[in-house]
Every structure is written in C-alpha cells, then in structure tokens.
Amino acid sequence: MGSGPEFDYCVVIDDDDDILMASRLLLRRLFAEVATARSPDEAFPLIETRTPDVVLLDANFARGATDAAEGLAWLEKLLGVDPEMVVVMITAHAGVQVAVAAMKRGATDFVSKPWSNDKLLATVRTAAALRRSRKAAVAGGAAPVPASPVVAGSALLGKSPAMARVHSLIARAAPTDANVLVLGENGTGKELAARELHRQSLRANEVMLTVDLGAVSEDLIDSELFGHVKGAFTDARADRVGRIQAADGGTLFLDEIGNLPLRLQPKLLTVLEQRQVTPVGANRPVPVDIRVIAATNLPLEKLHDERHFRQDLLFRLNTVEIDLPPLRERLEDVPELIEHYLGHYARRYGRAVPQIGAAARATLLSHDWPGNVRALRHALERAVILARDVPLEPEDFALVASPARIAPAAVVPPRPVDDLNLDRVERRLVEEALRKHGYNISLAANALGLSRAALYRRMEKHGL
C-alpha cells in the first residue's frame, strides 16, 4: 500500500513480555518503529537518544503492587527529561484515583489491561497527534501582531477576519464553564480550537481528555464514556473508569459527537443535566465536575434532524457555538500557513526551507483546498520531502483538483453491479478511493465522506 505509518517512534514500558509483544505488533500500524523495555531504567536510553512520539508506561512494576506509586514516580521522571513528552499510562488496576492522579501529574491519557485493540489504537493515535501539534506550535508558531486576538502560543493559525472572529469567540468563551460546540469541515482544526479553549480556561492546569467517537467502535462507546463495574458484562473482569469520570475537574473533548449512537444520547444528556455519571452495571451515580467541548463535521440540517441527533442534547452542548471556516473562505491566511508548515517540515526532515516559484505560489493561493488546512499541510510536507535545489513548481504539490474555483460536481449515477453484497461493494469503493488519490488517507476519506479514523476502521475491516 502507498501509505506508510502515521508516526515515527513509540516506546512501550511494561514488565510483561506478552504485553510487550502484543503492543509491538499492534502499534506497528501507527509507528515506523516500536521499541519495548521491561523497566523504565531499560527504557531511558531509548528515550534520551531519540524523542518518541508517545511513551506507554505501565503503572506497576513491583510484584503484587496495585497502587501505581512506582509508575507515577517514573511518570514524573520522564516529564522531567522532557516536559512536552506524551505519556499514556497502562494498568491492570484502572481505578478512578490512579487515572486522575496520573493525568494530573502530566499523563496524556490511560488504557487498562486487558485492552481492546481498537481502543488502544484510538488512544495512542490521539496522543501521538497531540505530540505532533505541540512540536509544531513550539517549533514554528508565528508571534501574533499586537492587534490580533490570537493568544501567544496558539497553534490555531490565521489572522483573516474569519479567524479573528474565531479567536474572539474562543477568548470570550474559554474563561467560562459553558459547554462549546465546534463545527467545521474535516481538516479545519476543530481539535486545535478545543485545545485552545482548554488552554485559556480556568481549568487549564487540570486534565483535558479527548474521546474520538469516530475511532471507537459503537459497542465500546458506552463503556468508554461511562465506565463499567466488574461483572457488568462478559468481558468486564475489573472496574473501569470511563472518560467522563476520569476528566473530573477538567475538560472533556468529545470529537465527532455526531457519531454518538441515538441510544446513548439520553445518557450523555443526563450527565450534563445532573453532573453525575452511572457506570455500566453500577447502582449509584458518581458526581463529576467537567466542562464539555464537542465537535462535529455534520451539516447543520443533519445535526438539527431529530432522527440523527436529539435536540435537547444539542441545546446542552451548544451553549456557545464556534464555526470554523473552511480554508477556501480565508485564502488570505494561506501565505502564513505556507511559511509555518514549510519551516516546520524542513526542521522535521533536516532539510533547507525550499523556495516556492511564482507559478506554484499562485497555484497554492488560488486552490480551493477541499481538505482544508490538513490537505495544505500534507501537500507542503510532500513538497519538502521531494524538494530539489530549484524552486518548487505546481506539480511538486500533487494537487488533485483544479486551482480554479470549482463548481459543485454533477452527481454521477453509480455504475450498475451484479454483486450487491454490501461488504464487497464497500471494499471496492474504499479501494477505488485509495487508488484514485494515491493512497492519501485524508483525500480518500474526504472523497468517501468519512473521517480519517472511520476510513482506517474500514481499511482494517477489509484487510487493506
């Protein structure tokens, strides 16, 4: 397949050889290299010589230990080496106290053993993406001009009038505890907006937990959000704290909220109204203090359709609504984005910042960017990797659409097929989209009307 691993390097620290083997095999889907160590002492050389995108750290190493004291101590040592390190705690004893203590001390997230493969991949992918965005913000964040409402350190770039309105809304909403709904097409930066809301909030020193509802299979969402008690169902061999409870005191970011099944929407509504959560199989609710930020790329007509989304839940989520503009509506921000990402990827790959020829710059400035900032970022990364000692030309960016303004495409009726098996038809469509877009996951997902996470799930389902 033309697409390689999404990230570079991951380190897993656990004293169980079976866990190390299983995680190494599984995480190779995401990382070019997965290093393993049976103890933190053994792992430190792996971390000091090469900065990992994510470290997975066991909470207990001493035989019989269940209090996570050793793992928490090592967490602090790791963050002492690199305060921006992204650490995901892994434990077989996932109580509320351990999860919250780990994240208050700087862990990004946690997973509990035995884990679901889908759950582990979703958690680690989100953590690695966070590390990438942190590095981008530190390495190349342009200082805002004095008149701009952009707060220093924000990774949400752009000074156009459209983005000025976004930054103004964030600055006004962030210090409150109001729930916020972030709207926007794929690739517009909804997670960056959520992180900016948390960073400017009164909860900034508390945990921000992300749940990507597009990356968690529907049968796991209930347990993932609300937690469960031992014996609640067949595989519930221990109590598990849910993301809502683990975010107590901080911010819960529900990405792709439109994927929340209708059957679970009343349960989330109850949490928001009563400020308490009842784990699956439990008899008593647990009080929680959270600020909820949700995001979706659903069109408004679908979001306001009771058949897809409960309106009483929508009213609870969108106390403040922030609509991120597509890149085609703020093309004046493209020059800033070009300079930022060219510099970022040149540093990442150890290259000189390439020059852009006049024709290429005109192409980039007039393109409609159907994949938004994510597509621009990908095009610039590719150009940096393949750059020669000459200015970049339009063909160096492999743009799939005309740089001219594109009229809405006519609807092409599907080709008649003899095989009406849904699984096989779905596989053919996914394969066709991947081939058409050169195995660019973002572009293929956009063509199929899916998120990247949803496309990855279908690729795994069909063994692609």
In this structure, the answer to whether residues 310 and 337 fall within a common structural domain is no
Please tell me the predicted confidence (pLDDT) of residue 76. 87
Please tell me the predicted confidence (pLDDT) of residue 240. 72
Helices 161-173/190-199 angle, 10° precision: 40
Q: What is the domain count for the chain?
A: 4
Please tell me the predicted confidence (pLDDT) of residue 410. 38
Q: Which domain CATH number covers 272?
A: 3.40.50.300
Please tell me the predicted confidence (pLDDT) of residue 223. 80
Q: Tens digit of pLDDT for each residue in 67-114?
A: 778 888 899 888 888 877 889 988 765 455 676 677 767 788 788 776
In this structure, the answer to whether residues 46 and 76 fall within a common structural domain is yes
User: Of 360, 376, 399, which marks where a domain is finished?
Assistant: 399
Average pLDDT in the chain: 81
Between 271 and 434, where is the model more confident?
A: 271
Joined tokens for residue 376: 């621009």
Please tell me the predicted confidence (pLDDT) of residue 142. 33
Q: Tens digit of pLDDT for each residue in 389-410?
A: 888 888 888 786 543 343 443 3
Q: Is the pLDDT of residue 205 over 50?
A: yes
Please tell me the predicted confidence (pLDDT) of residue 419. 63
In this structure, the answer to whether residues 175 and 321 fall within a common structural domain is yes
Confidence of residue 65 (pLDDT cuts 50, 70, 90): low
Q: How far apart are CA 260 and CA 224, in angstroms?
A: 12
Residues above pLDDT 90, as percent of the chain: 28
Q: HEC string of the chain?
A: CCCCCCEEEEEEECCCHHHHHHHHHHHCCCEEEEEEECCHHHHHHHHHCCCCCEEEEECCCCCCCCCCHHHHHHHHHHHHHCCCCCEEEEECCCCHHHHHHHHHCCCCEEEECCCCHHHHHHHHHHHHHHHHHHHHHHHHCCCCCCCCCCCCCCCCCCCCHHHHHHHHHHHHHCCCCCCEEEECCCCCCHHHHHHHHHHCCCCCCCCEEEEECCCCCHHHHHHHHHCECCCCCCCCCCCECCHHHHCCCCEEEEECHHHCCHHHHHHHHHHHHHCEECCECCCCCEECCCEEEEEECCCHHHHCCCCCCCHHHHHHHCCEEEECCCHHHCHHHHHHHHHHHHHHHHHHHCCCCCCECHHHHHHHHHCCCCCHHHHHHHHHHHHHHHCCCCCECHHHHCCCCCCCCCCCCCCCCCCCCCCCCHHHHHHHHHHHHHHHCCCCHHHHHHHHCCCHHHHHHHHHHCCC
In this structure, the answer to whether residues 339 and 211 fall within a common structural domain is no
Q: Which domain holds residue 88?
A: 7-139
User: Of 379, 399, 419, which marks where a domain is finished?
Assistant: 399
Lowest mean pLDDT among 8-22, 247-261, 437-451: 437-451
Residues above pLDDT 70, as percent of the chain: 82
Domain-embedded: residue 186: yes
Please tell me the predicted confidence (pLDDT) of residue 350. 87
Q: Is the pLDDT of residue 26 over 60?
A: yes
Q: Is the pLDDT of residue 170 over 90?
A: yes
Summarize the confidence of residues 292-311 as an average pLDDT. 90
Q: Is the pLDDT of residue 463 over 60?
A: yes
Q: Is the pLDDT of residue 387 over 50?
A: yes
Q: Is the pLDDT of residue 57 over 90?
A: yes
Summarize the confidence of residues 415-432 as an average pLDDT. 74
pTM reported for the whole predicted model? 0.61
Position 99: which residue type? A
Q: Which domain CATH number covers 119?
A: 3.40.50.2300
Domain-embedded: residue 147: no
Please tell me the predicted confidence (pLDDT) of residue 330. 92
Please tell me the predicted confidence (pLDDT) of residue 431. 83
Q: Is the pLDDT of residue 216 over 70?
A: yes
User: Of 300, 325, 350, which marks where a domain is finished?
Assistant: 325
Lowest mean pLDDT among 89-103, 152-166, 326-340, 373-387: 89-103
Please tell me the predicted confidence (pLDDT) of residue 141. 44
CB contact at 8 A, 198 and 108:
no
Summarize the confidence of residues 224-235 as an average pLDDT. 73
Please tell me the predicted confidence (pLDDT) of residue 149. 36
Q: Is the pLDDT of residue 59 over 70?
A: yes
Please tell me the predicted confidence (pLDDT) of residue 397. 86
In this structure, the answer to whether residues 348 and 259 fall within a common structural domain is no
Lowest mean pLDDT among 35-39, 335-339, 385-389: 385-389
Q: Tens digit of pLDDT for each residue in 136-150?
A: 655 544 333 222 333
Q: Which domain CATH number covers 347?
A: 1.10.8.60
Q: How far is CA 5 from CA 9, 26, 31, 107, in A?
A: 10, 12, 5, 24
In this structure, the answer to whether residues 168 and 269 fall within a common structural domain is yes
Q: Tens digit of pLDDT for each residue in 243-283?
A: 888 888 899 999 999 989 999 999 999 999 999 988 877 88
Domain-embedded: residue 257: yes
Joined tokens for residue 126: 């989100």
Please tell me the predicted confidence (pLDDT) of residue 4. 63
Confidence of residue 464 (pLDDT cuts 50, 70, 90): low
In this structure, the answer to whether residues 209 and 113 fall within a common structural domain is no
Domain-embedded: residue 146: no
Q: Is the pLDDT of residue 413 over 60?
A: no
In this structure, the answer to whether residues 272 and 371 fall within a common structural domain is no
